[in-house]
C-alpha cells in the first residue's frame, strides 16, 4: 500500500457479524504491530442491523474482544471510495472507484448459527485478517 495512511474497509450487509469481527481483529492486529498512525479501519453495512448478533458478541468475548458496545452502521460509497482496500464478506454488490481494491472473502453468515459454527467463522476471519496484514505490511516479528 502506498501513501502515509492505509485505509482498510470491512463491509457486509448488516454490519452485525463478519464485518464486525474483521474490524475487531484488524484493530487488534494494527495495535499489536504499532501501526495506529499508519492504518485506519472503517466498517459498515449497506442495510445495518439494530445490533451486533449475540452469538458474535459471545464468541468474540472468548478471544478477549468485547463487541458488546458496538453498533452496526451504514457506510457510504463515498467513504468506501476513500479506502485503499475493501474486504466484503460474500454479499456485496458494491460499485467502487477503480483505484479501490475490493476483495470478496465469501464468508458464511454467523447469524443464527450454533456456537461451534460461529467459532469456525470467527477463526477463519482472524486468519484472513492476519494474512492481509502480513501481505500489506510484512510478517510480524
pTM of structure: 0.93
Strand order in the sheet with 101-104: 39-45, 6-12, 85-88, 101-104
**Tell me, what's the pLDDT at 93?**
66
> How confident is the model over 107-123, as pLDDT tens digits?
999 999 999 999 999 99
**Tell me, what's the pLDDT at 8?**
98
CATH architecture, domain 6-135 = 3-Layer(aba) Sandwich (3.40)
> How confident is the model over 35-91, as pLDDT tens digits?
999 999 999 998 999 999 999 999 999 999 999 999 999 998 899 999 999 999 976
- CA angle, 126 as apex, 131 and 6 as ends, to 5°? 55
Amino acid at each position: 500500500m502506498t501513501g502515509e495512511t492505509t485505509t482498510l474497509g470491512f463491509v457486509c450487509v448488516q454490519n452485525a457479524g463478519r464485518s464486525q469481527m474483521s474490524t475487531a481483529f484488524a484493530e487488534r492486529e494494527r495495535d499489536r504491530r504499532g501501526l495506529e498512525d499508519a492504518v485506519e479501519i472503517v466498517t459498515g453495512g449497506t442495510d445495518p442491523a439494530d445490533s451486533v448478533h449475540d452469538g458474535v458478541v459471545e464468541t468474540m468475548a472468548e478471544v478477549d474482544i468485547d463487541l458488546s458496545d458496538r453498533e452496526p452502521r451504514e457506510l457510504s460509497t463515498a467513504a468506501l471510495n476513500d479506502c485503499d482496500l475493501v474486504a466484503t464478506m460474500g454479499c456485496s454488490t458494491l460499485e467502487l472507484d477503480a483505484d479501490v481494491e475490493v476483495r470478496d472473502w465469501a464468508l458464511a453468515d454467523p447469524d443464527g448459527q450454533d456456537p461451534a459454527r460461529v467459532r469456525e467463522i470467527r477463526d477463519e476471519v482472524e486468519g484472513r485478517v492476519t494474512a492481509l496484514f502480513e501481505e500489506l505490511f510484512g510478517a510480524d516479528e
